[in-house]
A and B are shown apart, each in its own frame.
Chain A
Amino acid sequence: MTFGNPWMLLGALGALIPLLVHLFDRRRPRPHAFGPLAFVLRSQKRTASRLKLKRLLLYALRTLILLAIPIALARPELTRDAAAAQAVKGPAATAIILDASLSMRWSDGTSNFERARDEARDALKDLLPEEPATLLVCTQAPAAPPPPGFDRGRLRSLVDEARATYGAADLSRCLDMAARALEESPMPAKRLVLVSDMTAAAFRLEAPPPTVKGPTGAPVKPEVVLRDAAEGHEVLGNRAIVDLKVEPALQAGPRTFQFTFTVRNFGAEPVKDLEAVVRVGESTLAKGFVDIPPGGTTQKTLTVRFPQGGTVLGQVALAPDALVEDDRRSFVLPVPRALKALVVNGSPHATRYRDEAFFVDAALTAPGSPVEVSTRDAEVGLREDFSAYDLVLLLNVPAPGADEAEKLAAFVEKGGGLFISMGDRVNPDAYNQRLGAVLPRPLRLVRTSAERDDPDADTRSARLAQVSVEHVLFAPFTGRAEEGLVGARFYKYMLLEADNPGASGASQVLATYEDGAPAVAVARRGKGRVALLTSTVDRDWSDFAIRTSFLPLMQRFAAYLTGSLDEREEVRVRVGEGATLRPEGAQKVSAVRAPDGAEVSVKEQPDGSLVAGPVLEPGVYSVLGADGKVQPDLSFAAVLDPSESDLGRVPQDTLTAYFGEETVKASTGDADKPSVPLWTWLILAACLAFFFEGTLLRK
């Protein structure tokens, strides 16, 4: 037997009151001379035995009342076992932790979360009137619960309003937060009620179990009640898309992409012929079937060719199962549009490979390239109507005339892309004079690092030293791909002046030679972009044209200069995280909308970027511009944390061992209602005694 308020037992001394009253009551009865005393005497004799019994009963009942009330207030409980002594018994301050993670959306007709809410309501119902309670809805970013209180209505409202989220939940952290909230209650006994599907991913069993400060200040384990919302399901079968890669499939034509998604079967049964599709809107673009062994993973690749360029918002999906949220994954894919490029060949040659434009033409018209190339000599090319093109490439072109230079400047100003490569025909002064406002930097003079015929040319020629791989132009050239860049030899190159003082914007040097001279400089001019390669694009000044990096770099030049190459890093965001947006130039962001249409908060960062979110649900997030229209190129897709798709459950024994066998109480369904404490029976006995005492007194 243990007592919640043992000092209340002192009140049991009150049970002596009837005895003391009986022994020491000195009240003198009122004397009254009465004629028919014989009848009084006879009546008294007649009723004496009955009265004696009645008095005895009254004495016993009053003693029982005065004994039962203080003992009940002392809150007695039958001792369960010796090990439970460390936990304080009696009515307990209670914190209910309601798991609202993605796995709780698992449904067999009724979702785990619906069952969990019912369990939470039952837990509230089972509380004793004097037990304060609080509620923590355990999400990816749980809020600290308030101290336990007695407003049951508010807690019920919180349970009713709670919704399962799309994020992972750290139940260990939530239990700890709830334990801290319990410590704010003066009640000595504490109880944690965990309502969850008990998936392993939600627990950190390597962390110590939650404790609260005991009456002495030392940490003690609170009572833990486990309410399993997935009771009856040994395994929660699930399959999910755990990864998705979308890559251009250039060999299959322009605007063709490979969707490679990894599908995992978390169940114990094999899955056969599982349908997998790529959808854009309502139309299915590709479909396939996968087989997955139990607990295994399979990759499936579907190839999709998009009919036109632009940003595509779509979804890959599996045939739905009990947890549909992880059976689909959204994507935002920038599909390059068809580009028209005018190549102005400043040094044509009858032999194709000696032609200045040969390698550029080959690179831009390679299979899968969206670029449509028109090659002209300098005289014709510079008279072309530039507005019919997205990109103009001046390859070793003598300085254009003033009118042509003006046309070029206007072309760039309106958003066109201009690529300039050097060569013997380039006159630096004329360029500076006529195209000075357009060039990223003024040209100075040609430096020769080695003669091509020199036997030591390999060692004396210049190589690229500093390449800004963080820039979108050079982003793919990391790792082994970098070899193609740094291996190129440059025999001659044009030195550049410092930044162009007459230009409207600053230039950016993305690659330099070993001597620090710029190799690639870019600049924005109006709405357009200009790139300057300080060497040739044929083999006259370098062997870069025959390097593996040449083709992709030229294609990226084309995409970059026309704005079709997304300069932004691909926005990869998981549910629960914030998405960083980098609007370009004049782009403004007025709002970000979640897939359900709700507005997402946006915060501006010191570096000019914006952080939207944290995003709370998977799907495509629309970014609205200043005009309120959706800007597809800024849109992004949020994906789920794959760890939440693993619905493997922690065995009850493991949880019991983790929390401590003496403290865990599994409670599921109606069969495990908490037993009625002893003191309620005492109160009932006192009430009955009170009633019978009154009845006896009236007789």
Chain B
Amino acid sequence: MLLDAQTLARLQGVKLRARAVMEGVLSGLHKSPHQGQSVEFAEHKEYAPGDELRHLDWKAYGKFDKYYVKRFEHETNLRAVMVVDASASMGYRSGALSKLDVATTLAGALCYLLVRQQDAAGLALMAGGKWKDVPPRASAGHLNVLLDTLEHTAPNGGTDLGSAADHLAEVLPRRSSVVVLSDLLDENQDALRRILALRQRKNDVSVFHLVDPAELTFPFDDPTLFLDMEGEGRIEVNPREIKESYLEEFGAFLASVKAACAEADVDYELVRTDDKLDDVLLRYLARRGRRR
């Protein structure tokens, strides 16, 4: 079931939308490699105080005279953090859904999927220059917390991807999966590079670049006073006069973001707010499956 933006918009709340998207995704996955939970041995780890004594490998102790703890597959589950940009610019909408609506829906759907396969899912929301973190957990009850948090997120403040990158570097363990959902409209030219630098810390980074169709096509005709959504800036222009130039600029921006992601080995997904989101997720998951 592929759900278009109009249909999703009629579903009130992130929970419903995320669930609808998730179900659409599941019906499209069929035999998913993520289905079920593995309990097979994965690796040895040298014992450290606090480890489960019942997982001590006595045979290894007999051979090497050192304590080793067995680690199993279920213990290597993904820790994924949804980094949702809730800046004011994410509140822009020309159609049924704002960029933030799409971002929270996608984040919620991904959380559904992760928790359903007992992976840990967490959130890092940036709104109004403040961070709101929900640490990754895999419990079913945790999902409600995640969805509630997404539900009550409102667009506010400016975009500061650089500080988001710094914050994640502090709180995330290595090899975490980081899913960034943002319009990437950061005045700081270095911000994207710092986000992508998370990949160098062995994290699996994915970027969902959210774009409103109006931002792509600039469909304005009459003289318009454009107001900055994250500041006091304003400019009065005749859109027809600058349309060509704007489309060039914005196209170059999208191309540069895509090129930077590719260079940093980061999954990049351009998401229009009028796209079918389950389709977006299926495309994303299929690409990740191919990468494995």
Query: Which A residues lie at the B interface, using CB under 8 A?
Result: 27-44, 46-47, 51, 54
Contacts and interface: CB of A to CB of B under 8 A. Distances in A.
B245 A35 contact: no
A152 B54 CA distance: 118
Contacts of A38: 185, 187
Nearest to A35: B89
Contacts of B249: 39, 42-43, 46
A41 B187 CA distance: 13
Contacts of A40: 226, 235, 237, 242, 246
Given A29-B236, A33-B228, 15 more contacts: A29-B222, A29-B223, A30-B222, A32-B220, A33-B92, A34-B215, A35-B92, A35-B212, A36-B89, A37-B227, A37-B233, A40-B242, A42-B249, A43-B245, A51-B238
17 contacts: A29-B225, A30-B222, A31-B225, A31-B226, A33-B229, A34-B92, A34-B215, A34-B229, A35-B90, A35-B215, A37-B226, A39-B246, A41-B233, A41-B235, A44-B235, A44-B245, A47-B241
Given A34-B92, A35-B89, A36-B185, A51 B241 contact: yes
A32 B89 contact: no
Contact of A30 (B183, B224, B233): B224
A425 B234 CA distance: 149
Contacts of B185: 35-36, 38
Contacts of B248: 43
Interface in B223-270: 223-230, 233-238, 241-242, 245-246, 248-250, 253
Given A27-B223, A29-B224, A43-B242, A36 B233 contact: no
Nearest to A697: B240
A44 B242 contact: yes
Contact of A32 (B90, B225, B238, B250): B225
A35 B253 CA distance: 14
A34 B253 CA distance: 16
Contacts of A41: 233, 235
Interface majority SS on B: helix, strand, loop or mixed?
Answer: mixed
B229 A35 contact: yes
A54 B240 CA distance: 13
Interface residues of B, number: 33
Contacts of A47: 241-242, 245
B228 to A, nearest CB: 5
B191 to A, nearest CB: 13
> Which interface residue of A32, A36, A38 has the most chain B CB atoms within 10 A?
A36
A41 B231 CA distance: 14
Contacts of A31: 224-227, 234
A38 B189 CA distance: 12
B228 A37 contact: yes
Contacts of B99: 35
A38 B237 CA distance: 13
A32 to B, nearest CB: 5
Contacts of A34: 92, 215, 226-229
A694 to B, nearest CB: 14
Nearest to B252: A39
Nearest to B227: A33
A36 B90 CA distance: 10
Given A37-B233, A40-B235, A44-B237, A32 B246 contact: no
B92 to A, nearest CB: 4
Contacts of B220: 32
Interface in B198-234: 212, 215, 220, 222-230, 233-234
A227 B222 CA distance: 61
B235 A30 contact: no
Contacts of B236: 29
Contacts of B215: 34-36
A35 B92 CA distance: 7
A535 to B, nearest CB: 125
Nearest to B212: A35
Contacts of B223: 27, 29-30
| Residue from A27, A41, A54 having most chain B Cβ neighbours under 10 A | A41
Contacts of A51: 238, 241-242
Contacts of A44: 235, 237, 242, 245
Contacts of B227: 31-34, 37
A38 B188 CA distance: 12
A13 B249 CA distance: 43
A28 B222 CA distance: 10
